[in-house]
Amino acid sequence: MKVCVLNFSGNVGKTTVAAHLIAPRLGAKLFSVESLNSDAAADGVELQRIKAKQYADLQSAILAIDNAVVDVGASNVETFLKLMGTFAGSHEDYDLFVIPVVKEKKQLADSVNTLQTLCRLGVHPSKLRVVLNMVDPDDDIEADFAPVLVIAQDLDLQVPHAVMYRNELFERLKGSGRNLASVAADTTDYRVLIKQADAPEEKHRLIDRLAEQRLSVSCKQNMDQAFRALVA
């Protein structure tokens, strides 16, 4: 499966969705189209960087493999989509276009624009997916994400939207070189180690590891559910 994750807006969680939600569950190679901001490499995720203007090279690379996820940074999305239009029909190389959305007003407007632009380029609505990201449990989803949900209905998107709840794990891991996959796979019994630790610094380090391990369980469960909604 070939998946493109993009949004005209920044700060919507594209890299989290591409690198931690989709790529590992597809066993896919991750491509980062980014020139200004940090990408998933900062989280210890293996990827291949490529510039938006190298669109032809990117398409050649994804066509040569079975599973690929392309994470398009906000600073590159305009060039990326312009070249997609120039390479007529190249949008057909992707099975899904995933648009992460957050509830802030500007990002909602940019997300609507992203969906409309993809449709104008010829992407069939059946290939469009929306991820409602950084959602709090007490959010009113229908009200908070109304502009995107309305346009999704207008475009006749038949699939349920995926929901990713806010989880502090990603902030805890930022810059640590560790990622969700490694934390979720960690079976260390930190409660035992905490009891055995003598130095206060080591005890606090182990307490942090235990908190991250626990956060990873709920995070993985949420992502598994969101992924099932995306590929439904």
Residue 30 has pLDDT above 80, yes or no: yes
CA distances, 69 to each of 17, 43, 112 (Å)? 10, 16, 22
Other CB atoms within 10 A of residue 191 CB: 11
Q: Which domain holds residue 29?
A: 2-167
What is the Cβ-side half-sphere exposure of residue 3, based on CA atoms within 13 angstroms?
29
- In angstroms, the CA 139 to CA 117 distance is 28
Burial 128-161 (b: 16+ CB within 10 A, else e): bbbbbbbbeeebeeeebbeebbebbeebebebeb
Residue 160 has pLDDT above 70, yes or no: no
Amino acid at 70: V
Do the domain assignments include residue 19? yes
Structural domain tally of the chain? 1
The predicted structure's pLDDT at residue 43: 58
**Which residue did the predictor score with more confidence, 170 or 187?**
187
What digits encode the pLDDT tens for the residues 75-117?
Answer: 899 999 999 999 999 999 999 999 999 999 999 999 999 999 9
Do the domain assignments include residue 162? yes
CATH of the domain at 18: 3.40.50.300
Pairing of strands 128-135, 162-165: parallel
Do the domain assignments include residue 97? yes
Do the domain assignments include residue 96? yes
Query: Average pLDDT for residues 113-132, to the nearest whole number?
Result: 95
Do the domain assignments include residue 181? no
CA distances, 26 to each of 59, 85, 88, 101 (Å)? 18, 27, 27, 21
Asked if 165 contacts 221 with a C-beta cutoff of 8 angstroms, the reply is no
What digits encode the pLDDT tens for the residues 32-66?
Answer: 998 665 555 555 567 788 988 999 999 999 999 99
Do the domain assignments include residue 196? no
The predicted structure's pLDDT at residue 156: 82
Using 50, 70 and 90 to split pLDDT, how confident is the model at 153?
Answer: confident
Query: Average pLDDT for residues 159-179, to the nearest whole number?
Result: 85
The predicted structure's pLDDT at residue 171: 87
Residue 163 has pLDDT above 70, yes or no: yes
The predicted structure's pLDDT at residue 37: 56
What digits encode the pLDDT tens for the residues 190-225?
Answer: 999 999 999 999 999 999 999 999 999 999 999 999
Do the domain assignments include residue 123? yes
Do the domain assignments include residue 59? yes
